[in-house]
Structure 1
Amino acid sequence: MNNNTGNTLEERLLHPRRSLGDRYRTQAERFLSSGNEADAVWGEQMASKAVLHDFTNPKNWKTLVKSRIALGDEPGVSSALKDLFSVLGRDPALTDLLEDVDMLLHGASILSESLRIDPLDPDEWWGLENPIDSLLNKIKSLDFTDPRANLLFSRRLERALDNGFEDEYLEHATILLAQRPMNHEAWTKLGRIHERRGSMDEAWHCYDQAQVCYQPCEERDRFIERIGAKMDGSEELPWKKPPIESRAEFLEGMRLLAGVEAIPSPDHVEKIGVTDSIKALIEADRLNEAFFLARRRAAEGDPEAEQLMNEISEGLQ
């Protein structure tokens, strides 16, 4: 299996957080082992910090639920499980487990069953029966507005790509990127796959998005240089970057994928103005949709939309 995914900036930055998560969990377990109620309070605080620093370690969640059960905090146990289910994409098969249940009696077993059904550990997840079919169905149906859920399922999709599911990766990566548009490394990877497959317009769209998201990134410019060098002396017609209409269509498609609620109809947008529509999305905290709408309008030459796009980008970073 390809281990390149472990070398991304994102992965490297997460290592110190994992270490802190382990440290806080160890401290929590020490407090809880004393059996003292005052120590249990400290244990719960340390366990909460462990989950905050590393939500990918199931041990951290188990320690958090254990600490809240020790304190007799039934709402706290329920809150922890709801938070975990948010990480898992708010799967109804899991959230239904919380209905009319005594959390102090059954919270720990619900947690264990949830992690068995949908493991946080990528190796355990890959060992499930038909993990790919389940993954692709979930990406199309679950809620990934929680950045942690987006990261978790992005890693699973990377695992699928490493094992040869390239077509599936191309189809589903954009769904996750619509909710996490500033991930320039993922856009770059998507662009390279399209380029290798000869889909030059699609590659350009991805590289363009990567470079807009992260100014030091020069993937779009390098791509144009590679294409130019390849065409030198060739009898093929020179490749031209996609026209504005193509870019607008791509960005509108991404905006639709980013939508989590009903959006104004085109006629309504026409009446209130695109700029007002962008601002309305920002006020509603629908920044991903606002970003792609502003990008589309900026590509079409709207200077006010470009300014809004830059402001939204800062908020998404």
Structure 2
Amino acid sequence: MASDSGGELQHPRRNLGNRCRAQAEKFVKLARKDPERMIENLQWGEQNARQAILHDFTDERNWHTLAHIKKLLGDGEGMYRVLNDVFTILGREAGNLKQLEQVNMLEVGVELLSASLSTDPLDADLWWENGQSGDMVGYLDDFSERCRHLDFRDQRANIIFGRRLERILKSGRDDLFIELVQHLLAHRPGNHELWLELGRLHEKRSEWERAWLCYDHVQQLLPHSHVRDSFRERLTQRMDGEWKSPGLDTRSQFLLRMQELAESVSSEESDLAGAVEQDEDGLESDIGMSEVDVDELELQKLLSAEDYAAAFFLARRLVATGEEWASPYLEQARSGLEIGDD
């Protein structure tokens, strides 16, 4: 009993999700017992199922409960949205679901959900076990390709894939972890825990500059953490002398690389819209503009498009090179990222 209680205290949101799912299931039972109030009870059940997912989207039972209620309500469009949401979290091509628009979702929706979560579990340990049961090399190749193209601004996808990357790291595949984790961090630069993990890995591998860059980023996010300063002290003691931190060029290249990764998954629609707007006058509009004007215009465009991650890294790079005028833009991008994390 004590261990169960402790588990609930360690996972309060999971516990709330369990409670909401249990309530949803009760309303489903009431709907079956009382045909006159069936719709009303199912609607209450749907509301609780949605709350269960909000509390814990990693528990597949919550998704199954919501899909089951959608089927009972005869809500085919709602079933489609549930599947689309799950596909987004799993990094699957949600557009492929459009091929099923002519299919009766009420007949196949629950089965499609079960099949998707069976082959691609939300639980990181189950996901890893799936790979071990087959061709792990091909399994990880497919996963890597999805990481390189997935828009991790969806926090749920970021969390799911982050936990999978932790399993990859535990398996000793350090190089793969280092490559892929940057895609997550490019879209969620405020994930200080993952930055810290990456910094520790680089430090373990004696990759001092890369470790410093990670720790520096964490300290920028959490000024009172002093992780960068503590790392410098450890390294100075180890080398029996002062260690020189990375120069401005190295830091600038690092931030530029992260900005490019953040921008790499821009939608084709955005690219097309940009191409249409860029007429002959637009192509010449940058002529005569100063470098500051061009950078400021780029920041404004990124913030207007709510591409806060790319704006964050661009503004940080500018501030790091002494462009203090970019500081308000950095704070605006940081605020946008915080809103997105809520």
Per the normalisation by structure 2, the TM-score is 0.82
CA distance in 1, matches of 2:101, 2:119: 18
* Comparing 105-114 and 31-40, the one that deviates more: 31-40
Name the residue aligned to 1:256: 260
User: Would the aligned equivalents of 1:178 and 1:258 in 2 still touch at CA under 8 Å?
Assistant: yes
- Give the corresponding residue for 2:65: 63
> Shift of the alpha carbon at 1:276?
2.2
**Match for 1:171 among 152, 163, 179?**
179
- What letter is aligned with 2:144? L
- Using the alignment, how far apart are the partners of 2:250 and 2:117 within structure 1? 43
The match for 2:314 among 293, 301, 307 is 293
- TM-aligned CA distance change 1:165 to 1:13, over 3 Å: farther
Aligned equivalent of 1:281, options 302, 308, 311: 302
Q: Distance in 2 between matches of 1:13 and 1:298?
A: 42
Shift of 1:309: 1.1
How far residue 86 of structure 1 moved from its aligned partner, in angstroms, is 1.2
Residue of structure 2 aligned with 1:101, choices 100, 103, 106 = 103
Q: Does residue 1:26 correspond to 2:22, yes or no?
A: yes
Q: CA separation of 1:122/1:170 partners in 2, compared to 1, >3 Å: closer, same or farther?
A: same
Contact 2:87 2:94 in 1 (8 A): no
State TM-score, norm by structure 1: 0.88
Query: CA 1:17–1:167 in 2, change beyond 3 Å: closer, same or farther?
Result: same
Q: Show the counterpart of 1:48.
A: 50
**Per-residue deviation, 1:13:** 9.8
The amino acid across from 2:224 in the alignment is: P
Letter in 1 for 2:165: L
Match of 1:141 in 2: 149
1:97 offset after TM fit, Å?
A: 6.2
1:47-87 superposed Cα distances (whole Å, 9 cap, x missing partner): 11111111101100000011111111111111111111111
Q: Match of 1:246? A: 250
Alpha-carbon distance change, 171 to 134 in structure 1, aligned in 2, over 3 angstroms? same
Larger radius of gyration between Structure 1 and Structure 2 = 2
Alignment check: 8 A CA contact 1:251 1:296 kept:
yes
> Is the contact between residue 211 and residue 219 of structure 1 (CA under 8 Å) also seen in structure 2?
yes
CA contact (8 A) 1:213 1:313 kept: no
Q: Within 1, Cα distance between the matches of 2:262 and 2:10?
A: 25
Q: C-alpha root-mean-square deviation of aligned residues, in Å?
A: 2.4
Matches of 1:307 and 1:15, distance apart in 2? 37
Deviation of residue 124 (structure 1)? 1.7
Deviations 1:71-109, CA, capped at 9 Å, x for gaps: 111111111111111111233596366342211111101
1:273 alignment partner, SS class? helix
Matches within 5 A, 1:88-237: 88-91=90-93, 95=97, 98-128=100-130, 129=134, 130=136, 131-232=139-240
Take 2:60 and 2:11, find their aligned partners in 1: how far apart are those partners? 16
TM-aligned CA deviation for residue 136 of structure 1: 1.7
Q: Conserved in 2, the CA contact under 8 Å of 1:244 and 1:300?
A: yes
Number of aligned positions between the proteins = 302
The one-letter code matched in structure 2 to 1:49 is: Q
Q: 1:130-178: CA deviations, max 9, x gaps? A: 2433322221133322110011001000011111111111111111110
Q: CA, structure 1 residues 94+29, in 2 after alignment: closer, same or farther (shift >3 Å)?
A: farther
Please state how far the C-alpha of 1:116 moved relative to its aligned partner: 1.5
Larger displacement relative to structure 2 (190-199 or 148-157): 190-199
Q: 1:134 to 1:99 in 2, by over 3 A?
A: same
Q: Distance in 1 between matches of 2:72 and 2:297?
A: 51
Measure, in 2, the Cα distance between the counterparts of 1:197 and 1:97. Answer: 47
Aligned to 1:307: 328
Say which is worse superposed, 32-41 or 85-94, in terms of deviation.
85-94
| Structure 1 residue 38, shift from structure 2 partner | 1.6
1:188/1:207 contact within 8 Å kept: yes
Secondary structure in structure 2 of the residue aligned to 1:242: coil
Change beyond 3 A, Cα 1:93–1:168: farther
1:14-67 deviations in Å (ceiling 9; x for gaps): 821111111100000111122222211111111111111111011000000111
CA contact 2:39–2:73 (8 Å) conserved in 1: yes
Counterpart in 2 of 1:6?
Answer: none
Shift of 1:280: 1.5
CA distance in 2, matches of 1:221, 1:275: 31
Q: Distance in 1 between matches of 2:58 and 2:215?
A: 29
